[in-house]
Structure 1
Amino acid sequence: MLEPAPQRRLLIVDPCDDCLRLLPGLRSAGWDVHGCTLGSALEHPCDVGLLRLQASHLRHPEAVKDMIKRSNTEWIAVLSAEELRMQNVGDFVCEWFFDFHTLPFDVSRVQVTLGRAFGMARLRGKGAIKVDEPEHELLGESRPIRELRKLLGKLAPTESPVLIRGESGTGKELVARTLHRQSHRREKPFIAINCGAIPEHLIQSELFGHEKGAFTGAHQRKLGRIEAAHDGTLFLDEVGDLPLELQANLLRFLQEKHIERVGGSQPIPVDVRVLAATHVDLEKAIEHGRFREDLYYRLNVLQVVTAPLRDRHGDLSMLANHFSHFYSLETGRRPRTFSDNALAAMGRHDWPGNVRELANRVRRGLVLAEGRQIEAQDLGLQVVEQEDQPLGTLEDYKHRAERQALCDVLNRHSDNLSIAAKVLGVSRPTFYRLLHKHQIR
């Protein structure tokens, strides 16, 4: 015996008399219908929303925008003929609503629109990510990111220094913040300093602080970043850019656990856990005399390596959707999904700037997109034409095609590998064997 289909939840916000007359037909069609005001809409979870869009909403649209962004579902606008003629109403409705209806209702069309909106809401909901929960900051389910989360769980409770290595844009500071947040120092300060972004003549004062009158312009005592991190975590980003003189001072602090402010003579005990990050090859820097070997061994007690985005194909679409939601708040536009063309272009791009580059391209795409989806050209990407690809042996072509097929299917179905395997027409064991063969995930 077949189980009855679950009820679909419909929320009607600021319902009018015409909306209320729809209720019997909607309920008989399987909709669980509730009504409320705009102010309380977020208190009522729903699968589809119907909003009686009035002139007051159009004059002050921020409340409507905020409600739609936070509800994570599809909304249908209901307008009268007069409201439809208001200035800019077309742009507003096209930007923020799945569809619209004018009064009086065409009941059959309403039923069809609600069904389509319900389907679209279900698709959007599958890729939804709760971005406000700290444990979801290291997003992704590819093998490199899963192994990274596992490693950080082991390293976080220790007191040992950690050296975080990886290309620019791979999230080294995010790793450092995760280590701090999962440590027993989580309630204490996390102080970050970019060693390559501070003028050389100010780094000494920034790290160690100074006493009043230590130099011209030092009108009062200043605590340095190391002292400010007392009992917490000190993160030295791009530590490879630290001048040699400061490397000696940092080494002395790591050995003796105290500092002296510039212009001072009293040792000040400081208890911090030191995390350092770099994208440069420190071993080569040591060979060329640009980095102290003894400091290297002090910082490199434990080591974490962040994977480049090109090795995390299965995470591309998840990260892109995350940034689409995140930057929609900044751009004032509704989060957009990505067209097949855009997903294919992202899968073929090498991402030299890694996650930071992806975030910037999605941010740009949100601003430039004219349709309901972000296209490849909005991201500044192009699908590689066949004639632009280098020639090779037949085996080379087979290898590239096999790998590209895996990357393409992971871009769309990274959350369900069973479906990914079915799309390619292979069994799950074969699918996992192919992933291992091509070193994906």
Structure 2
Amino acid sequence: MQHATPQVSPKPCNSAALSFTAVPSLSFHLTGSGGRSHVLSKAWNQASELLDSELLQRLFREACGLTENELYERLASWEDNSDDRGLQQRQQTESTLRGEVSRLQKEVSQLRDEAYAAKKKAMDAELAQTKTAEKIEARMSLSRRQLQSIARGMGAASGLAERCRDLQHRADVLNLELGSLKKAARQKRQAMEDCSRDARELAQRLELAEKDQPGSTLLVEAEAADLQSDFRAEVVSLLTERSELRESLQKQKEMVELQQLLADERMLLEKRRMSAADMLREIADLEEQADDLERNSQRVLGEMRNSLERLAMQVEELRRAKDQAEDWLGAVWAALNQQRREQLLLHQRVKEEDDWAGRLQDRTESLVVELQVLEKETHAQQRIPETPDKETFRSLALLQQSRKDARQALSRQLARSRQVQGSLKEAETQQISLLEDLRPVRPMLTLS
């Protein structure tokens, strides 16, 4: 009995029924959503409970309305889209991360250079301020010493002026005494002249008496003795007056010398007064210079204060940038860890799907064996009516078609799993290179 090959017509299936998303494990693989670990574990538990013989029958029922090409195109388009989307997202994330890392390195180097320049500028300003303060202190100490010397000179000058006033008073007294002595000397000189004139007259009289009257010698001698005694007394008085006049002349010479000394002292005082005025002018100039230096130092201090405030603001901005960088790096590390966990979960998922694919292959082979047994039984039972035979052949054809579809799906899944493993290895190498790029930023995190 010849059996006609049944024609399998594509049955219109509902889009809601024709989906592999009813199984949570397949739903995760098809949607490509990287859920959390507890969601995956829950889905995996549900999938492990549902993947049994009823699951195979359900898969066969859902795939009954699709041809081989449609099913293959659907699976291939979904897998390509999911893989391409994941790779594009990963590559975009890695390129963004590399760009941010390079930008952060440039900003960190620039900020370090700016901080070093600002620190050097502050040190130079502090050194200049120290030198200026030392110069001001030296000038102020010199001014203090000059003021002290001026004060000592003024004290000595005041004492010398007092002494000069005393000497001037004594000189005035001595001048009065000198005038009186000169007057007395003139009187004495006049008296001496009178005495000498009387003596000459007496001598003339004696000569005349000797010529005229030799007998009156005794009287003349007596008068001469009296006159001689008077003359001696006058001579003694004149000698005493002469000694007194010599003493007065000596005192007058001393007074002249004293007046000369007083004139010299007056000249010295005038010179010292002039030098004191010059020193006062110099002190005023030094005070003006000190005021100028103080104003300049205040200006320099204001500039340094402003520069320090700007430095503090820059340091605060650097600190905020560092905190933002730390937060961003923390988020990046969290994203990397999450990506690594997702990669590990995906790798584990691929392994589990490979196991399930192997089990499905074994089950399919067992079903093929059962189908072969059923074909043999149907060939042996030729007395069965024609209608059940057609239905059986139709079901067998559907089973064979489903077996072919399952084999093709398994082969594609195995190929895709190999591609996923290769992409996982590439992602791991890219992650290692990304960690190497992030290594220069780690010291900044450790310093914080």
Rg larger in structure: 2
If the length of structure 2 is used for normalisation, what is the TM-score? 0.15
If the length of structure 1 is used for normalisation, what is the TM-score? 0.16
Q: State the structure with bigger RCO (CA 8 A, min sep 6), 1 or 2.
A: 2
